[in-house]
Amino acid sequence: QLQLVQSGTEVKKPGASVKVSCEASGYTFTSYGINWVRQAPGQGLEWMGWISAYNGNTKYAEKFQDRVTMTTDTSTSRVYMELRSLRSDDTALYYCARDRGYDILPKPSMDVWGQGTTVTVSS
């Protein structure tokens, strides 16, 4: 069925990197983009960036531009989000979410969401 399945919980030290995966199934992977959205404990949703599964084109929020990289692997229908130089305020639940924008820009109607990956940054 239509779903996005994310990798498991991560615990990292400040300054480290984390790489979260998101595996798509139940639809044509390259016909959509994927957004990454995070939610700190008790806080709202924050958009991090978008990647086209069609051509690998990326758009990142300014806040994360220098620290995030999003990639795709069409052979496994997976999208990856790597966040570097982790800080304590990066502690959050990270979601991947499908986007109709598939080539140039996101069209932020996120209709399928992963289950979320908890990333904890602590010394």
Partner 1 sequence: QSALTQPASVSGSPGQSITISCTGTSSDVGGYNYVSWYQQHPGKAPKLMIYDVSNRPSGVSNRFSGSKSGNTASLTISGLQAEDEADYYCNSFTSSTNFVVFGGGTKLTVL
10 binds partner 1 per the rule CB under 8 A? no
105 binds partner 1 per the rule CB under 8 A? yes
Binder among 24, 53, 110, 119 for partner 1 (CB under 8 A): 110
Q: Is 71 exposed, middle or buried (0-12, 13-18, 19+ CB in 10 A)?
A: middle
How many Cβ atoms sit within 10 Å of the Cβ of residue 91?
A: 17
Binder among 23, 30, 57, 116 for partner 1 (CB under 8 A): 116
**Side-chain half-sphere of 89: how many Cα atoms within 13 Å?**
4
Window of 11-19, 45-53, 72-80, 83-91 that interacts with partner 1 by CB under 8 A: 45-53
Burial 56-70 (b: 16+ CB within 10 A, else e): ebebbeeebeebbbb
Q: How far is CA 54 from the centre of its chain?
A: 16
**Per the structure block, which two tokens stand in for 31?**
């016909």
Binder among 18, 29, 81, 106 for partner 1 (CB under 8 A): 106
82 binds partner 1 per the rule CB under 8 A? no
Binder among 28, 31, 56, 107 for partner 1 (CB under 8 A): 107
Window of 22-30, 41-49, 71-79, 84-92 that interacts with partner 1 by CB under 8 A: 41-49
Least distance between partner 1 and beta carbon 80 (Å): 19
